[in-house]
Amino acid sequence: MKRQDETSPSLSSDDKKPRLDMPENQENFASVGDQANSVTQTGISDAQGHPVQEVESMCMRCHKNGCTRMLLTKIPFFREIIVMSFACPHCGFRNSEIQAAAQIAEKGSRYNFKIESKEDFSRQVVKSETATCTFSEIELEIPPERGQLTNIEGLLTEMIANLEMDQEARKEAQPEVYEKINEFIAKVKALLAGENLPLTFYVDDPAGNSWVEYQPGQAAHKWSMYEYNRTAEQNVFLGLISADDVAQQRLAELKQKKDATDQNVSSSLNNTESHQPTASGFATESEIENFENEVQTFHATCSACAAPCETHMKTVNIPHFKDVIIMSTVCDKCGYKSNEVKTGGAIPEKGKRITLKITDPEDLARDILKSETCGLRIPELNLDLTPGTLGGRFTTIEGLLTQVYEELHSRVFTQTSDSMDEETKQRWTSFFAKLQDANEGKIGFTINMEDPLASSYIQNVYAPDNDPNMLIEDFERTHDQNEELGLNDMKAD
């Protein structure tokens, strides 16, 4: 239950009645200056000389007037805060809390602190009303509630007191829950006594107004602080934006993704292949002028049955990347099909690593170019494609997952499932089910591509702006990678 705003003085019964002798130009409400003048200075101050002020306010328990004391002070290495303490002389109700005197920070903050001895429990903590405290080893989380200026021991002691408050009632109604809570309380008390340490303590505050005491000269691993960009949900929680604004922003992003993937290279390639004329053998002068828009056809030999067949080749420009050559071979006699992608240009000095988080089904329609030298890994699916697997592929993410499913299911699982034991067969079945869910957009996953020749690519639907879900890094090739690619013996002179 919340009490009346503690910064404003209470109104007596006489004040609530209209005053008949009030002049016409008199304001109906007291000004901020008049209210400030009514604040009483106690003569008490903190170590930095900030005065403690008193203001009369109503107790929400007995509805009589009590006293709120306020101190505007500053925490070293942190910022200004307001410490408030309320006491009611009539019913004995007491309450204390803190509020941040500064504005909401531009970024959220996360503090990590390693508790390695009993003395570490005395570290001061500023916990704002938006902060979440976590003790990872004992799986304890203290959700956002009123602001507090306390220490780590105080947080745990208050939590124990709250749990013990209803233990007698639980003992009769839920004896199993009563026993488990007793065990948990005993575990926490043992930690407070300095047993079973170390313990990791986290404070996560999206408003950036919380703090864990820092002591100069301490070991680097004991205390750390990180800042992060708030998510849309956290901004809604803080009241910075409305849920409707977030919904409209997501609809706009979804439309942008859909428009980008509808106009990607793979979809336009399917249309041009069905409408563009093909050239066999040598092209005329007019055809040479439009060579980039042509699908070239060459006579070849099928690698499966050695019968004559045709190989189709087309040059495609991938926006914000480079030109690639797509080659496709089809044998009408035995039905053999193959396709691959070749990239041209000079060998770059560094390799490239691409990481993309798939968070929306629309992401599955992104173009992806996986060269022969590229390794691909999806940790959530336990999928690891070594360089050379599937050859060079230019398709969509959905198409690549479909090819992986078909190749593994038809060539590995179907042909060897009869000789598999039940446990192995069950693992394969679970793998294919998870792969199918990912391909249908039911679960999110992360694609990690590493290409020492920097010849692989994933479409950026936000181009030319950066994609917030994609990270592109350059890396130095190792000696072994250069050896496998034949670069160590290559001489440019």
Instruction: Encode pLDDT of 143-201 as tens digits.
Output: 998 888 889 999 999 999 988 888 888 888 888 989 999 999 999 999 999 998 899 99
- Per-residue pLDDT band at 2 (split at 50, 70, 90): very low
- Write the DSSP symbol of residue 103: P
Q: Which fold has domain 38-102?
A: N-terminal domain of TfIIb (2.20.25)
Residue given tokens 């706009």 in the structure block: 252
pLDDT for the residue 54: 82
- Per-residue pLDDT band at 68 (split at 50, 70, 90): confident
Structure token digits, residue 415: 């042909």
Which of 11-15, 194-198, 388-392 is the least confident region? 11-15
- Per-residue pLDDT band at 446 (split at 50, 70, 90): very high
- The answer to whether residue 287 scores a pLDDT higher than 50 is no
pLDDT digits (tens, 9 = 90+) for 216-231: 888 888 999 988 888 8
Which of 81-85, 190-194, 425-429 is the least confident region? 81-85
pLDDT for the residue 187: 92
Task: Round the average pLDDT of the chain to a whole number and report it.
Answer: 78
Which of 19-28, 34-43, 370-379 is the least confident region? 19-28
Instruction: Specify burial of residue 392 (Cβ count, 10 A radius: 0-12, 13-18, 19+).
Output: buried
Q: Considering only residues 483 and 293, tell me which one the structure prediction assigns the higher pLDDT.
A: 483
Which alpha helices (DSSP H) does 206-299 contain, by range? 232-237, 243-262, 265-275, 285-289
C-beta separation of 400 from 406 below 8 A: no
Q: Where are the chain's structural domains?
A: 38-102, 105-246, 293-345, 350-485
What is the chain's length? 493
pLDDT for the residue 186: 92
Give the whole-number percent of the chain exceeding pLDDT 70. 77
pLDDT for the residue 11: 42
pLDDT for the residue 322: 67
Q: What is the CATH number of domain 350-485?
A: 2.60.120.1040
pLDDT digits (tens, 9 = 90+) for 328-339: 888 888 888 777
Starting from the edge strand earliest in sequence, which strands make up the sheet with 148-151, in order?
148-151, 124-127, 211-212
Query: Of 269, 276, 257, whose CA–CA distance to 394 is shortest?
Result: 269
Q: Do domains 38-102 and 105-246 have the same CATH topology?
A: no
Q: Considering only residues 323 and 379, tell me which one the structure prediction assigns the higher pLDDT.
A: 379
C-beta separation of 318 from 329 below 8 A: no
What global pTM score does this model have?
0.46
- Per-residue pLDDT band at 95 (split at 50, 70, 90): confident
Q: Count Cα neighbours of 439 within 13 Å in the Cβ-side half-sphere.
A: 16
In the CATH hierarchy, which top-level class contains the domain 293-345? mainly beta
- The answer to whether residue 129 scores a pLDDT higher than 50 is yes
- The answer to whether residue 418 scores a pLDDT higher than 50 is yes
Structure token digits, residue 35: 């209210």
Q: What is the CATH number of domain 105-246?
A: 2.60.120.1040
C-beta separation of 81 from 73 below 8 A: yes
- The answer to whether residue 30 scores a pLDDT higher than 50 is no
